[in-house]
A and B are shown apart, each in its own frame.
Chain A
Amino acid sequence: MFVSLESLNPLFTSMIHYDVIIIGMGLSGLMAAKTAVEAGRKVLIIGRGTGSLCLFSNTIDLLGEFPKATTTEDGLSRWIANHPQHPYSKAGQTGINEALVSFISLFPPPYSFESIGDENCMMLTGAGTFRPTRLVPSTMLAGISTRQGKTLVVGFEGFKDFYARYVADGLGCQGITLPLPETLNQEITASALSRFMEQDSFRKEIGREVRKHINGEVRVGFPAVLGLQDPMSVKKAIEDDVGVEVFEIPTLPPSVPGRRIFNRFRTWLIQRGVTFVMGQPVTEVSLEGNRCKGVYVFHAPGSTFYSGDRIILATGRFMGGGLVADQKRIIEPIFNLPVVQPESREGWFKKMFPEDHPIHYAGIETDVSFRPVDTRGGVLIDNVWVAGTVLAHHNVIEEKSREGIELVTGYLAAKRAIER
């Protein structure tokens, strides 16, 4: 598969051993790390990037496709019955609940993840539409009741990933676009705005300006840029100036709320002794018989070998690099695991954009313990478990299940791994 990296680097000596090595630093990898370290294991997490977490995740979607007025529990049990191959069916109702509880426990108030009752809620989006989601960070809570009372939507001049009037016209309410102080003199991105929001003087100016436009509105919606460190204080400070409730609305990527989730996991995991190797790809794995001995991580000009007892593959889909499509086939590049996929490229995408494209169901087949299997169900590598969106038989986009699948499978893959 690859030239042995040991032979390329004569100085190659390092040999660090871990109980659990996680490849992938998105939500599923982080969740797996949390689960493993809580069980007292020595954990290494390796990530080239942070997956889709810091791009698309704002709230925790579990499953959007419930019939109206169905509780999550009813909806899930029906879903599991109808989709036996789906990752949720391997997890079971109990596994799903445990994973969500574990995630929620990581976010104590003030910035916590909440739900309204025991069903999905409809969350206002940056296109003025609503999306079904299960858990909402406290900064977004007021965005799920926008059908009652008037809302003011606020955007910022020069911030091109959010348009207040677009959202407001969809809601049938007022939208304003505030000019930013000229001294900023830099490109107005979501992360730049969230830094400014943490400055008291900036917030005050925004608050004063917004207050002038309040005309019977009972809440004010901002793009989701209300600070990275302490968003609830930012929200509270603006509320004090404006006099009504403030909430956040998801924007085009990148996602500041996703970055908050990442930061919280990282701080918590590092405190508990998890080793992070960031920004480097796993270039090769060392296999012996049906066991993986460890992984090679590229550090120019050489690479480091990390040995591990258990390996969790949480590399995401195409965007994360967990799956790669050439002109004909889809492959899994790290272990070269078999990928469940349509017969030929012709079958990847349907004729119309809105259709449910078969390529999204492609991925790695596993047993109920999330170990990769061949077409006859035989376990391929004894000490490798698979988590997150790289798994087959789900479509996080259509199902609105992205964070749910990542959390649940990350939690369970790690749990099954340490049980062994």
Chain B
Amino acid sequence: MFLGRSSFMNSESLGKGWDVLDSQERARFEQLVLPHLDAAFNLSRWLLRSRADSEDVAQEAMLRAFRFFRGFNGGDARAWLLQIVRNTCYTWLEKNRQVELMTEFDEDLHQQSNATPETLAIAGDNRERLTRALETLPVRFREVIILRELEGCSYKEIAAITSVPIGTVMSALARARQRLQRALTQPAQQEASHEL
């Protein structure tokens, strides 16, 4: 299971990793990691809710990945990169928008959503509205939705990227989906609470 290498990044001890990246390794980086640039950008765009900021952050994360590439011990390059992207995003959020990280994760969810396939289909038909609904979710719910639905990651990969146990991934996804359904079918209320 992923726990054996839950910490993908073990290269800090190697010092400035890229000093010793030879051309062969650079080629390997370009072959294994660079193709996941879209994934990196997409994840940071949704975590930061901003294209402009995520260009900077995705770039920084990519360069960090390049420096730490020696510490990549094979396996799933996308998950390895996305873990770095996520860490870089959280560091950025801590510095620039600390409030967002403090959003209550364990909000009481016993309030049932009235979502039916029909109301969801109608509400979700509007891309803008879906984007807004997604952006109102706390970042820890938003990230599991992005990783699962947009990136197509398995629970195991999500667990590795977000450093939580697999069981937690399933319950986070369950809550995230319920909240998203609520946000879609009760947009006014959600927007109001987001303002707070």
Q: Do A and B bind each other?
A: no
Q: Which residues of B contact A (CB under 8 A)?
A: none
